[in-house]
Structure 1
Amino acid sequence: GDPADPGSVLAGQVAYWKAELRGVPAELELPVDRRRPAVASHRGGWVPLTLRADLHAQLAELAARQGVTMFMVWQAALAVLLSKLGAGEDIPIGSPVAGRNDQAVEDLVGFFVNTLVVRTDLSGEPSFAEVLGRVRQRALGALEHQEVPFERLVEELAPVRSLARHPLFQVMLAVQNVPQATIDLPGLDVEARPSEVSMAKFDLDFHVEERFDDQGRPAGLNGGITYASDLFDRATAETLATRLVHILRTAAADPHRSLHGIDPLDADERRRILTEWNDTARPEPAATVPELFGAQAARTPDAVALVRGDERMTYAQLDAESNRIARHLIAHGVRPESVVAVVMDRSPQRVAVLLAVLKAGGAYLPIDPSYPIGRIGLMVADAAPVALVTTASFAGRLDQSDSGPLDPEPGPDRITLDDPAVRAAVAGEDDGPLTRLDRAAPPRPDQAAYVIYTSGSTGAPKGVTVTHRGIDRLVRPAGYADVRPGDVVAHLASVSFDCTTFEMWIALVNGATLAVGPAGTLSVADLRHFLTSHQVTIAVLPTGLLHQVVDIDVAAVKGVRSLLTGGDVLSAPHCRTVLDSLPGTRLINGYGPTESTTYTHTHPVTEVDVSGGDDVPIGRPLADTRAYVLDERLAPVPVGVAGELYVAGEQVARG
């Protein structure tokens, strides 16, 4: 018909397709191994896809009961699979049609094949049988309007074009079920021989052919998947084939099961994801920070625990000083679960105060003194500490807020450590181990150890309460960071950043020395001087700072044996520079929100990570930590499929 004639067959079919494909996804989200290149190379590979006769028979019976064709069964199953792998609920799939629906071409030799787009709607909570009904309706509609050449359809619909992908659909499905032709040519023996496919027109091209025995009974399906090598590895394509067969088997067994009840994982994969990869239990029973530190101080009393410049404090001296401060805190009402705010510059004394709070049974609220006074006031008002420990340099500032004193009566007891009277009182306390005579109850593993305020997803600071059990899980075992007795660990993070949890306690419970950095933020030159002068072997640099150091002076961290980072996406090119420039340094990428005690995952960066693209893994869970990637219904997703990361275990904060 004339395309200009609105009453022509062509115009009517174009109008159908415009309505049918309105809002169709421009590109399906598929579980690719690599980012899509700007221009597709069309290099491809092929993997087999086979169904045995028994499953073929079950699918044929299902198709007969539901009044659909075998193609429609495969269309529905493939759409369900792609949806389960992150493609959404609107799945367009291409399909070839013979193009011989006119009797005039029956006796002609030629290629009349056209391509249709069959769209599958998986929204709501349909059963597989309901999806078959939706597919049937859409497929029959497509077949009734199959005369429009695909290239003409693309011109009419004018989708956003790209050299990176096929327009309107990226996945093709063909199910052949015509009888095998016998080719009898005089003087020739003709045999069909399968061959590997080296070109890919689509991201994925599924092609299967039904086979029947001499009695016409289903004898299985043979075929394969042609995949774009730009996007997929062969192993991924093989997994897709396995998953599709699993979906078909599940649907044949119970077609009335809701789609949400169709698990794309088989039993072995589910066990591997949920159990084997989360087998992180450790044999050691949980302990508190005072218990762990006390045991270390007893083993190495004369080893250096804290160092800053020429200042040294041994494990025995730190133990004694923290005992004195703990007794002073108890006299000010600190009891188990009490919160004690600490507003002090980074210093050895501050470390002693934090340890003392834990020995007294309390939980410390670390506050960076550089914070605006309004934020400090909000944190103190929200946490309601029984005491506030500070020094004279900040005590005056706390009283000069525009809104009045930080802690008006009644408020927390103010303990200004460098006040002569307080200094004398602390010095007069017994420095021996705390006992019940001191009204001290030893903290328990599930007791609060500290409260740290994050920025909060609502914009208001949010307090996170972490237990001793969480800290213990972070610092024992310390193999992921390769911390050994005699190591020197840098203490450079803001006290209000949970990185300090790692810095302080992984050093002091494992026999290392904590090198305490000067107050404030260090320049790269200052960082180089600090690390070199203290001979630091273990350091944590937030990702942004690490990138800056690598750009300005990568040799600033030379000599650091374990360099940990985290807090943002780690740049592969920066990792390359570290690996090339510092062969003696082990770079470790870490991940973990404050609510899970600093780190949940770590990963030692390797040559493989920096040569395969821009993504550096976050790694495996730490001891007593479990991690699951789940969909919106909290079901585990297959490997390679996007979901939300859920963490569980000893490290999860209260609430």
Structure 2
Amino acid sequence: MGCLINTVPFCVQVERSMPVLNLLHQVAHASAAMIPHEHCHLSAIQQWTPPGLDAFNLFNTLLVYENAPAIQQSTYDGTIAFTDKHELEFTEYDLAAAIEPVGNRLLLHLSWNAHKLVKEYAICISQSLSQLLTDVHKALLHTSAPTPVHQVLTLPEPEQRMLNAFTANPLAWDESKTVVDLFTACAQRHPDEAAVELDSDVWDYQTLYAKAQRLAQWLLHYGLTAQEPVGIIIARTPDVIVTVLGVSMAGGALILIDPEYPLDRISFIARDCGIRRVCYTAAHAEVVQRVSALVPVAVCEIDTMLATAPKNTASTLGQVLPSHLAYILYTSGSTGRPKGVMIEHRGLSNLIQQTPSIVPHMRSHFRHMQALAMTFDGCIWDIFMTLCHGGTLVLRDEIAHTMHHVDSTSLTPSLMAVLDPT
């Protein structure tokens, strides 16, 4: 029959400095305010959901309070005695926790979908819940000195101590620099070093920077504005890397589009984020023509842009600020419509500047293979991580063959699992 509950979804606003008791009061008041609406069908609530919210995934966390008073033994005539009880419930959720008061303690029961979650993960969740409940209890006992929400631990104390040790000395990074600044400085330091390689085609940093600069000037000459979304029909070629850099240098926001996408998905992305121009290689002219017939976009063939760009490489480029939009990444849309996630330059720059601390092999002349799907978030990291630190971005022809000629690559776990480790 399904889950027979009348819980109504509601949102909770949480601030770091908010006292724990205030948060609990807020949740209690919000929950009580929902009681008059418990007769509403979930389908109706989904229809009332404001634009921008996922109407089909309204519950991030679902708490059901069950009041089951104990039956007094005296109500029986003595012929039957209940000495113990055992309850076993099943839910349709991948993870469910039941908290039962036993005397002055709370007993936590955890059940999970073994096809999706391993036992070790479930144990970690149970330990985190136990720590959370313990800290909330402590906070409620010390009302004279309110405990802010951010001081409530969600990790067991040994793990929290380990985390504190690892994060005790945060790495410094220049918040004023964008990846455009980092790439420009790198190109000036290593003008003659190999920057991009595809088979026998190798471009040095000087060539790559000059082409990207000319493409940026072309875009600015034809009216590109700061943070304007620019669609790029991707291909694993040096020209597309030039376009990624050129759009960034001109101040535009990258939207990488797979030419294998269904036409309606490409059209949706173009309309959703307001793409006004699409850059492409000649190999994908047919795809772009079909898109432009459905969505009013200017089509920009990369070779033509480079051939007709202004010759004055000293021209001033658009100012790119850390707060500006760097790129928009669209989700797969497997649970509904694709959703665009907007990433600012400050976040991307922070990641790129911190990369040497987590990738020990990084140095001048290192060779990194770009093997991920170019619409994947990791592709952006591959490009800028390599080209902002003096490495060579190797565009794969065939993974198994290329692996022997590079120092590193980024792979998804599923792809790594099928590779021969030898």
Q: Does 1:505 align with 2:384?
A: yes
Q: Does 1:405 align with 2:293?
A: yes
2:394 aligns with one of 506, 515, 529: 515
Q: Does 1:538 align with 2:405?
A: no
Distance 2:169 2:415 in 1: 31
Could you tell me whether the CA contact under 8 Å between 2:250 and 2:318 is conserved in 1?
yes
Question: SS where residue 476 of structure 1 aligns?
Answer: helix
Mapping 1:36-435, distance limit 5 Å: 121=67, 138=69, 142=72, 144=74, 149-150=81-82, 154=85, 247=137, 250-251=140-141, 276=164, 281-286=170-175, 287-400=177-290, 405-407=293-295, 411-419=296-304, 422-426=305-309, 429-430=311-312, 432-435=313-316
Question: SS where residue 514 of structure 1 aligns?
Answer: strand
1:442 aligns with one of 307, 312, 319: 319
Distance 2:258 2:135 in 1: 57
Distance 1:354 1:434, change over 3 A: farther
Distance 1:283 1:458, change over 3 A: same
Distance 1:358 1:169, change over 3 A: closer
1:64-89 Cα distance to aligned partner (Å, 9 max, x none): xxxxxxxxxxxxxxxxxxxxxx9976
Distance 1:377 1:172, change over 3 A: closer
Tell me the CA shift for residue 344 of structure 1: 3.4
Tell me the CA shift for residue 348 of structure 1: 0.9
Q: Does 1:454 align with 2:339?
A: no
Distance 2:341 2:135 in 1: 46
Output the amino acid matched with 2:375.
Answer: S
| Greater length-normalized contact order (CA 8 Å, ≥ 6 residues apart) | 2
Could you tell me whether the CA contact under 8 Å between 2:173 and 2:354 is conserved in 1?
no
Give the strand-richer structure, 1 or 2: 1
Distance 1:249 1:364 in 2: 46
Distance 1:172 1:495, change over 3 A: same
Could you tell me whether the CA contact under 8 Å between 1:318 and 1:352 is conserved in 2?
yes
Could you tell me whether the CA contact under 8 Å between 1:334 and 1:386 is conserved in 2?
no
Output the amino acid matched with 2:172.
Answer: P
Could you tell me whether the CA contact under 8 Å between 1:389 and 1:414 is conserved in 2?
yes
Distance 1:248 1:398, change over 3 A: closer
Output the amino acid matched with 2:205.
Answer: Y
Output the amino acid matched with 1:298.
Answer: Q
Tell me the CA shift for residue 413 of structure 1: 2.5
Q: Percent identity?
A: 23
Tell me the CA shift for residue 317 of structure 1: 1.3
Distance 1:278 1:331, change over 3 A: same
Distance 1:169 1:336 in 2: 52
1:221-254 Cα distance to aligned partner (Å, 9 max, x none): xxxxxxxxxx989xx7xx9799869948955x77
Output the amino acid matched with 2:307.
Answer: A
Output the amino acid matched with 2:411.
Answer: L
Tell me the CA shift for residue 384 of structure 1: 2.3
Tell me the CA shift for residue 324 of structure 1: 1.1
1:288-328 Cα distance to aligned partner (Å, 9 max, x none): 11100111112111111111111111111111111111111
Distance 1:546 1:143, change over 3 A: same
Mapping 1:550-569, distance limit 5 Å: 553-555=420-422
Tell me the CA shift for residue 546 of structure 1: 1.8
Could you tell me whether the CA contact under 8 Å between 1:369 and 1:394 is conserved in 2?
yes
Question: SS where residue 182 of structure 2 aligns?
Answer: helix
Tell me the CA shift for residue 464 of structure 1: 1.9
Could you tell me whether the CA contact under 8 Å between 1:243 and 1:265 is conserved in 2?
no
Could you tell me whether the CA contact under 8 Å between 2:132 and 2:153 is conserved in 1?
no
Question: Which blocks of at least 5 consecutive residues in structure 1 are unaligned?
Answer: 1-22, 24-85, 91-119, 122-133, 161-167, 176-201, 205-230, 255-259, 519-525, 556-655
Which of the pair has more CA radius of gyration? 1
Question: Which blocks of at least 5 consecutive residues in structure 2 are unaligned?
Answer: 5-60, 90-97, 110-121
Distance 1:396 1:316 in 2: 32
Distance 1:144 1:241, change over 3 A: farther
Taking only aligned residues, the RMSD between alpha carbons, in angstroms, comes to 4.4
Could you tell me whether the CA contact under 8 Å between 1:247 and 1:264 is conserved in 2?
no
Output the amino acid matched with 1:284.
Answer: W
Distance 2:184 2:250 in 1: 14
Distance 1:264 1:144, change over 3 A: farther
Question: SS where residue 374 of structure 2 aligns?
Answer: coil
- Corresponding residue number in structure 2 for 1:650: none
Question: SS where residue 418 of structure 1 aligns?
Answer: helix
Question: SS where residue 350 of structure 2 aligns?
Answer: helix
Distance 1:296 1:158, change over 3 A: closer
Output the amino acid matched with 2:293.
Answer: P
Distance 2:338 2:130 in 1: 45
Distance 1:545 1:250, change over 3 A: same
Question: SS where residue 301 of structure 1 aligns?
Answer: coil
TM normalised by structure 1 equals 0.43
Distance 1:485 1:461, change over 3 A: same
Could you tell me whether the CA contact under 8 Å between 1:398 and 1:406 is conserved in 2?
no
Which piece of structure 1 moves more, 453-462 or 390-399?
A: 453-462
1:596-641 Cα distance to aligned partner (Å, 9 max, x none): xxxxxxxxxxxxxxxxxxxxxxxxxxxxxxxxxxxxxxxxxxxxxx
Could you tell me whether the CA contact under 8 Å between 1:323 and 1:433 is conserved in 2?
no
Could you tell me whether the CA contact under 8 Å between 2:215 and 2:306 is conserved in 1?
no
Distance 1:232 1:378, change over 3 A: closer
